[in-house]
Structure 1
Amino acid sequence: MITVYFIRHGQSEANLKGIIQGHAEFPLSSLGEKQIKLAGKALSNVNIDHFITSDLGRAVKTCEAIAKHHSKKVESSQMVREIGLGPLQGKTRDQMYEEFPNLQPNMLLTSGIKGTETLDEISNRCEKVVEKLLDNHAGKTVAIVSHGGFISIMLMFLIAGRKWHELEIPFIIGNTGITKITMEPTGHAKIHFTNRTDHLEYEEGVTPETPVAY
């Protein structure tokens, strides 16, 4: 049995301004800096054996804030970075819909627009993450710091395999939202909870009211 905690990064400047990020780099906002400290405290008493983070800066900084409570090194991996959104990256939603008027809000991650990550590429990444966990971390607890889009799709992949994109994604993953799953050696997964953000309620003014931006 493997236990995995998926944690979304703290609020970034792009999240704050409603800008689509994808693989683009944006620093954490001042609110994001507060959030990652609270996430670190919330997970400080959880026995975590290994930390994996997206290689994008907002995730790395979030992971380091959590891992320091455990005196563990952080492994950086492109496999858990955000979905690549190509020409949509760096745009607000208004700018995005103006340039691509046929784009549906619920299809942002799977639009098929040239330059965005394809369904097969996303599925392959999810598959490799599962394989790595099963091969290298049996019987362990792993924390993976990633992004709202990728975590949502990873959960769908665990439910529906490579047909995940045929279903509408029901998950909302907020900044520093914590999701816990367990996985059998067969790869069968159980979702214990998603998007736990009660750690943000410990301090006034750290729960953002801004919409999710990938």
Structure 2
Amino acid sequence: MTLLYLVRHGETVDNAHRIMQGQTPGQLNETGIRQAEEVAEKLKDEPIDAFVASDLRRSIHTCELIARLHGQAVTTTPLLRERDWGSFTGKYIPDLSHLNDPSLWPDDIESLAALKERAGAFLDWLREKYPDQKVLAVGHGIINKAVQSVYYGKPMKEIKPMGNADIRILEL
């Protein structure tokens, strides 16, 4: 059994300003750095075998801050990238009032089906690459929700959102 510590990246400059980041690199702000350091401190005595992050900078930085207390490097994967929000990327979230109605979305947004397929591929990749290991993986709010949706076999709307630097533990 692979044990997954699924973590959301720390707060970013864009999170604080309520900007839709999507697949932009993002940059942790001071709060986000502190959040990552708190996760590192909380998990410093856990025997974690591997550290994995989305290949977007905000997740890599969060994961590096956590992994350094374990003296380990971080492996990256595009499978854990945040949802591609297409032309919504960079927009002020409160201005996107039509977010609640996907029928009004532009065609360049990654579909829920594609997102969940990627989440399933991530879980398969983890099971194959890290059998019987403890893995900490840093992703993003929506992809982490999709990972849990696939894992639990529940609709995304039934998965509780993760705050910045939240941790969920899954047994694969």
Q: Does 1:181 align with 2:165?
A: no
Q: Which has the higher contact order (CA 8 A, sep 6+)?
A: 2
In structure 2, what is the Cα distance between the partners aligned to 1:37 and 1:140?
Answer: 23
- TM-score by length of structure 1 reads 0.75
> 1:96 deviation in Å?
2.1
How do 1:40-189 and structure 2 match up within 5 A? Answer: 40-97=40-97, 101=98, 103-104=99-100, 113-160=106-153, 164-165=154-155, 168-183=157-172
8 Å Cα contact 1:152/1:169 also seen in 2: no
In structure 1, what is the Cα distance between the partners aligned to 2:19 and 2:40?
Answer: 26
Aligned partner of residue 95 in structure 2, secondary structure? helix
Residues 54-88 of structure 1, C-alpha deviation per residue, up to 9 Å, x if partnerless? Answer: 11111010000011111111101110011111111
> 1:115 deviation in Å?
0.8
Aligned partner of residue 133 in structure 1, secondary structure? helix
Residues 22-58 of structure 1, C-alpha deviation per residue, up to 9 Å, x if partnerless? Answer: 1123211111111111111111111110111011111
Flag the 1:10–1:91 CA change in 2: closer, same or farther, 3 A.
Answer: same
Residue identity over aligned pairs, in percent, reads: 26
Structure 1: gaps (5+ residues):
184-214
Aligned partner of residue 162 in structure 2, secondary structure? coil
Runs of 4+ aligned residues of structure 1 deviating over 4 Å after TM superposition are none
- TM-score by length of structure 2 reads 0.92
Q: Work out which of the two has the higher radius of gyration on C-alpha atoms and give 1 or 2.
A: 1
Flag the 1:74–1:111 CA change in 2: closer, same or farther, 3 A.
Answer: farther
- Per mean C-alpha deviation after superposition, the further-off stretch among 88-97 and 135-144 is 88-97
> 1:140 deviation in Å?
0.5
> 1:111 deviation in Å?
7.2
